[in-house]
Amino acid sequence: MSSRLFLSILGCAALATPGIFADEYRLSGPYTHENLSIFLIHGANKPAGKYLTLQEAMDQKKVVVYETGSVNQLAVENLSDENIYIQSGDIVKGGKQDRVFPDDFILQTKSGKVPIASFCVEHGRWTGRGKEPTGQFHASTQSLPMKSLKMAARDEHNQQQVWDQVAQAERKFASSLGVRALASPSPSSMQLALENPQIAEATDAYLHDLSKIVDGKPDVIGYAFAINGNVNSADMYASNEMFRRMWPKLIRASAVEALTERQAASASTPPDATQVRLFLRDAGAGRETSKGPVVRKDSGKAVLFETRAPSSSNWIHRSYVAK
C-alpha cells in the first residue's frame, strides 16, 4: 500500500477516544492553503436544542447588548422567543470600547437584562466612535483570532494579557503585510484591525481556497486546524446546522491567525490525522473542572472546553486548544 493511500484511509478512519469520541466520528483532510491546514470532523447530529447565533440575533434585532460603564461586564437582553448562543471569542462593536465575550453563554428566551462577562479589545477609547451609539453595541461580525489571545480571555481571564495580545497581533499584522493595521478613530481596536482592507484582502486569499470545503458534506460537525505544520485548535458542535452557521467566523479567525504566522512559515508539512487524533484524545483525557455550563479539561498539553445545554448533560460546543 502506498503511503499516500494509507494517509487517505487514515484521514477518514474512525476516531476512538473514550468519553469524547465514539466510533461514528471520523476525520477528513488536510485541506491546505499556504501555512493553514484544515481537517474536517464528521459525525451524527446530537440533541442540544436550537439557537440563534449572536451575529444572527443582532442582525435580526432580537438581542440588545448594553454598555454598562464597566470594562469587564456588559448586559444582554434576548427580545425573542428563540434561545441565543454567544460563543467565546465573539466581538461586539461599539459602546465606549469594543468588547469580546470570554465564555460560551446561552441567553434564554425573553431574558430581560442579564449581566455577562466581557473584556476590552481596544485600549484607550472611552467615548463614542463616529456615529455609533455609546449605550449599545451594534454588530458582531468578527471572532478573536490567535490562540494566545483567546486563552488570555477565556482561560486566564486577564484584561492586561488581552490588551498585550491584541498589541502583539497588530504587530504581527504589520510584520506580515508591511502595513500598520491601527488607524483612527480607534487606533488600538482589534475589530478595526480585522476590518483593515489589506488584512481583509490577505485573509480572503485563504478563504477562497478553504471556505467551501464544507459544502456538500452534511455530516461535518467540526474542524481542527494546523498552522506551519503544528496542530493549533479545534471546534466541534452538536449539529451540522450549528457548525455551518458558525463556520464563516471560525474559518476567518483561523485564516487571520495563519496570516499573522506567515513570516515564521518554513517548508513544513501538514500534520496527519494521527497527530490530530492524538491532540483531541489528549485534551479529552485531561483533569476535569467545571464552572456553570462549561466543563474544562486540561492535560498539560491541551485544553478542552465543553459547553452543555441548560438543564441538560447534552453538549453544544467543544473547543480544543493546544498549549
pLDDT digits (tens, 9 = 90+) for 15-35: 444 444 544 689 999 999 999
Instruction: Report pLDDT digits (tens) over 233-248.
Output: 999 999 999 999 999 9
Q: Note whether residue 65 is domain-resident.
A: no
Q: What is the extent of the structural domain holding 18?
A: 3-46+202-322
Instruction: Report pLDDT digits (tens) over 205-259.
Output: 999 999 999 999 999 999 999 999 999 999 999 999 999 999 999 999 999 999 9
Locate 114 and state its grid cell.
442579564
In 3-state terms, what secondary structure has residue 261? coil
103-106 long-range contacts (CB < 8 A, ≥24 apart) are: 103/154, 103/294, 104/293, 104/294, 104/305, 104/307, 104/316, 104/317, 104/319, 105/76, 106/51, 106/293, 106/307, 106/309, 106/310, 106/316
Tell me how far apart the alpha carbons of residues 213 and 239 are, in angstroms, rounded to a whole number: 17
Instruction: Report pLDDT digits (tens) over 175-194.
Output: 777 666 555 566 678 888 88
Q: Note whether residue 311 is domain-resident.
A: yes
Taking 70 as the pLDDT cut, the residues of the chain under it are: 1-24, 178-187, 264-265, 267
Asked whether 254 and 38 are in contact (CB, 8 A), the reply is yes
Question: pTM, whole model, 2 decimals?
Answer: 0.88
Tell me how far apart the alpha carbons of residues 225 and 43 are, in angstroms, rounded to a whole number: 17
Q: Note whether residue 137 is domain-resident.
A: no
Strands 36-42 and 26-33: antiparallel
The single residue listed with the C-alpha cell 455550563 is: 293
Q: How many domains does the chain have?
A: 1
Question: Vertex 287, ends 283 and 291: CA angle to 5°?
Answer: 100
Q: Note whether residue 126 is domain-resident.
A: no
Q: Note whether residue 39 is domain-resident.
A: yes
